[in-house]
Amino acid sequence: MSFELDRTLLDFSSKMAEPFCTVWELCCYRLVAPLDPEKFENCTTRTREIAVRVFIGLGAVLGVFLLCAFPVPMLFRVVALGIGVKLLRAIGFALQKGGFTHVRGEAPEKTLNYSMKVMSWNICGVGGGLSLDHGGVVHWRSRVGALIEKVKKEEPDVLLLQEVYDTALGEALIDGLKKDYAHFFIHLGPNVMGSIGGCMILSKCAVRDFSHTSFTNNHWTLNRGFETLELKASPQDIWPSVRIIGTHLIHGDTSDAKNNRMEQVAQIVDSLRETMPTILAGDLNIERDGEGKQLLEPFCHAYKGHEPTCTNELTAKWSSKERGVREETIDYISLFKKGGAYVRFEDCHLVKAFDESYNTKTALSDHHGLSVVVKGF
């Protein structure tokens, strides 16, 4: 499996940034986490957890002392490391072709027989402790093994992931699934100063074409967009037989956020110029039985169940503040009605990431995965 230069530099940049992320996680999250042995990454007893936090506090005091005692050399090292992180990140993104990095897996390309399984999953793959208050789950390093096992058990032909923000997580997923998949598309939506889009696409099938398109209404801090994957029925084919679009729309309940989502959906629909069976998959942050009834009218949805796909109960365990909406159905695998007359969905189901106990130590994500068999394309 080749290791392209853009991937190498982005991975090295991430490793250089790890000390900043670790300090932020320990000081801004672990120290202020609810002191409950049953929650998050806390030790099994309060006494041990208090001891850990005292040790973290002493480390922070030592760091402040060194900064005050040797301000010039300490600041120089911090600034030099920070500049190095951004410089390598900028070079890595500049070396990308088309705004993404392609990694060839070790698996042979699969031949489809008018049927394939598609899975979409928001896995809350953020570092620096942000998974605790953003999704109510522990660091991805404590979950990645179970995430990979879930994928292996489900065996999707195409896997669309959201919130793979940490480069190290992307590399861990490649390492754990490289024998199962032929193609990996990572680092989608380059952004030197802010965050990438966070999507990651895996395919067992032969790829005719792949492209990333950034949304036109992005804020500079987050470069979200949509990924267009055109698949061939067999590696020998010239033309594609099905198109899959993966995305993660902007979140938020304000009128501006809703308008932005409307524009993003319109941008996706406007991009579908060639008639071809087209599947849209991802975390759309659109309530299916609310805002989605009108906004997603061009699509028919695979999942029509009543059980929500996402919960805020886990994040509510981080903060005692009341959350407005506790359960949401905002994850989709949907068919674009135009060009999909003969396509049908079978066996659409949730891939469970948490249970009714909402255990923050064992939950794999605040989103269930969605899986469906697509036939007739």
Any idea what the CATH number is for the domain that residue 264 is in? 3.60.10.10
Asked whether residue 267 falls in the same domain as residue 144, the answer is yes
What is residue 319's predicted lDDT score, i.e. its pLDDT? Answer: 81
Domain boundaries, position 339 = 98-375
Alpha carbons 330 and 288: distance in angstroms, whole number: 6
> Hunting for tokens 């000081």 — which residue is that?
27
Domain end marker among 42, 68, 90: 90
Burial of 227 (0-12, 13-18, 19+ CB in 10 A): buried
What is residue 324's predicted lDDT score, i.e. its pLDDT? Answer: 64
**Residues 276, 242 contacting (CB under 8 angstroms):** yes
Asked whether residue 138 falls in the same domain as residue 228, the answer is yes
pTM of the complete model: 0.95
Residue 360 backbone dihedrals phi, psi, to 5 degrees: -75, -15
Alpha carbons 262 and 353: distance in angstroms, whole number: 28
Asked whether residue 14 falls in the same domain as residue 139, the answer is no
| β-strand pairing of 158-164 with 115-125 | parallel
- Alpha helices by DSSP H, listed for 212-349, are 255-270, 292-295, 313-316
Q: Could you tell me how many residues make up the chain?
A: 377
Alpha carbons 344 and 289: distance in angstroms, whole number: 21
For residue 315, which of 168, 98, 51, 132 has the smallest C-alpha distance? 132
* First-to-last C-alpha distance (Å) of the chain: 31
Asked whether residue 158 falls in the same domain as residue 259, the answer is yes
> How many independent structural domains does the chain possess?
2
For residue 151, which of 327, 376, 353, 356 has the smallest C-alpha distance? 353
Element (H, E) at 214: strand 206-214
Domain end marker among 36, 67, 90: 90
Q: DSSP character for 30?
A: I
DSSP string, 282-302: EE----TTTTHHHHTTTEEES
Domain end marker among 46, 71, 90: 90
What is residue 322's predicted lDDT score, i.e. its pLDDT? Answer: 54
Task: List the structure tokens of 343.
Answer: 């396509």
Q: What is the radius of gyration, based on Cα positions, of the chain?
A: 21
377 residues of the chain, pLDDT tens digit each: 445 899 999 999 999 999 999 999 999 999 999 999 999 999 999 999 999 999 999 999 999 999 999 999 999 999 999 999 999 999 999 999 889 999 999 999 999 988 999 999 999 999 999 999 999 999 999 999 999 999 999 999 999 999 999 999 999 999 999 999 999 999 999 999 999 999 999 999 999 999 999 999 999 999 999 999 999 999 999 999 999 999 999 998 899 999 999 999 999 999 987 789 999 999 999 999 988 888 888 999 999 999 999 999 999 999 866 566 689 999 999 999 887 778 899 999 999 999 999 999 999 999 999 999 999 88
What is residue 2's predicted lDDT score, i.e. its pLDDT? Answer: 42
Task: List the structure tokens of 7.
Answer: 């991937």
Asked whether residue 103 falls in the same domain as residue 191, the answer is yes
Alpha carbons 174 and 169: distance in angstroms, whole number: 9
Asked whether residue 13 falls in the same domain as residue 114, the answer is no
Asked whether residue 159 falls in the same domain as residue 36, the answer is no
| Backbone region of residue 232 per phi and psi (left: phi > 0; alpha: psi in -120 to 50; beta: other values) | beta
